[in-house]
């Protein structure tokens, strides 16, 4: 049993306090940073995710799922987040300013059909287990290497 569930039970809970009472097929994937100040709701479960080895992704340890910009509900942003903009200055990497967890990245100048990346490490590990993970060589060739 996960530590948080054991702690919840120790404190008199059931260990399932975060579970919704909605039928499973109606639930949208929800995740949060470690402290809970930034909460994300995906429009659908991802089928694929990308593990990149570029200089920022390997440091963040991100596992990225991509969605059309504006379709992911993000609570606590921008009031509880900090951003990091670097390189060609086309996107911002966003993290919780309290616990430091990288939550997502988004374009600096959103365009119709533009994408944003969401870090699946902020979601239940079972969600990660359900997606195909592709490895991307962002450090050298800019090609998928799987």
Element containing residue 40 per DSSP (H, E): strand 39-41
The CA-CA-CA angle for residues 18, 20, 25, to 5°, reads 130
pTM for the whole thing?
Answer: 0.81
pLDDT of 17 reads 40
Q: How far apart are CA 40 and CA 132, in angstroms?
A: 21
pLDDT of 6 reads 33
pLDDT of 9 reads 36
Smallest CA-to-CA distance from 118 within 39, 56, 55 is with 39
Beta-bridge partners for 119:
64
Domains of the chain: 28-144 (2.170.150.70)
Q: Is 62 exposed, middle or buried (0-12, 13-18, 19+ CB in 10 A)?
A: buried
User: Average pLDDT by consecutive 10-residue portion of the chain (146 residues)?
Assistant: 36 40 68 98 98 96 97 98 95 97 96 96 96 97 94
């Amino acid at each position: 049993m996960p530590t948080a569930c054991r702690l919840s039970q120790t404190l008199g809970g059931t260990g399932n306090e975060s579970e919704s009472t909605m039928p499973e097929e109606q639930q949208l994937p929800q995740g949060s940073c470690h402290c809970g100040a930034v909460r994300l709701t995906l429009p659908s479960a991802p089928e694929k995710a990308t593990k990149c080895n570029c200089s920022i992704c390997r440091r963040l340890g991100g596992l990225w799922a991509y969605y059309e910009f504006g379709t992911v509900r993000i609570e606590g942003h921008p009031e509880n987040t900090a951003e990091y903009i670097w390189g060609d200055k086309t996107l911002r990497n966003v993290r919780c300013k309290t616990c430091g967890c990288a939550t997502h990245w988004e374009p600096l100048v959103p365009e119709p059909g533009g994408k944003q990346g969401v870090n699946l490490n902020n979601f239940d590990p079972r969600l990660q287990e359900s997606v195909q993970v592709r490895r991307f060589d962002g450090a050298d060739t800019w090609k998928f290497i799987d």
